[in-house]
């Protein structure tokens, strides 16, 4: 007896449940001269234009959350990270994004001494990228303070 393979097409199934948008963010940390440093980008677009944030963005339909994290990190900082990404957590509290219900998968990129000299060239929707001491971070967009705090607990 042969098994038939089912072919699913878009629209074949529908669900009455609302669906959130999915984003992926990267908390990149490195050893600094006095303390751990965190890489942030300055947002070039609304919402929160001009504020500091983690590199990240929306997961495309065809990619995994980790793949989106790597892509967004490269697009917004100009530096590709090929090292390990560790899942920090999933963040989806109500009101975290003024555009609507958005859930973020946050990843940790823990860099060592050989990685600390990444050439930064912000692009895409980032107008600037810079390293900040983890103990003296500027106010951040979305709930990125909470995400960084969670990442620093596992460093």
Q: Is 60 a catalytic residue?
A: no
Q: Out of 60, 66, 84, 128, which one is annotated catalytic?
A: 128
DSSP readout, the chain? Answer: -PPPPP---TTSS--SS---EEEEEEEEEEE-SSSEEEEEEEE-SSSSTTSEE-SEEEPPTTS-HHHHHHHHHHHHHS----S--EEEEEE--TTSSTTS-EEEEEEEEE--TTTTT------TTEEEEEEEEGGGPPPBSTTHHHHHHHHHHH-
Q: Just list the catalytic residues.
A: 128
């Amino acid at each position: 007896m042969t098994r038939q393979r089912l072919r699913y097409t878009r629209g074949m199934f529908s669900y009455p449940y609302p669906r959130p948008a999915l984003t992926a963010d990267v908390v990149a940390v490195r050893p600094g001269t006095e303390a751990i440093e965190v890489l942030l980008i300055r947002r070039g677009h609304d919402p929160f234009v001009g504020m500091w944030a983690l590199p990240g963005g929306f997961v495309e339909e065809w990619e995994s959350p980790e793949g989106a994290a790597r892509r967004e990190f490269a697009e917004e900082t100009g530096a590709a990270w090929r090292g390990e990404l560790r899942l920090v957590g999933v963040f989806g509290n109500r009101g975290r994004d003024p555009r609507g219900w958005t859930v973020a998968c946050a990843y940790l990129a823990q860099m060592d001494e050989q990685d600390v000299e990444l050439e930064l060239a912000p692009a895409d929707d980032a107008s600037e990228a810079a390293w900040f001491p983890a103990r003296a971070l500027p106010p951040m967009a979305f709930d990125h303070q909470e995400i960084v705090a969670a990442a620093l607990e596992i460093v």
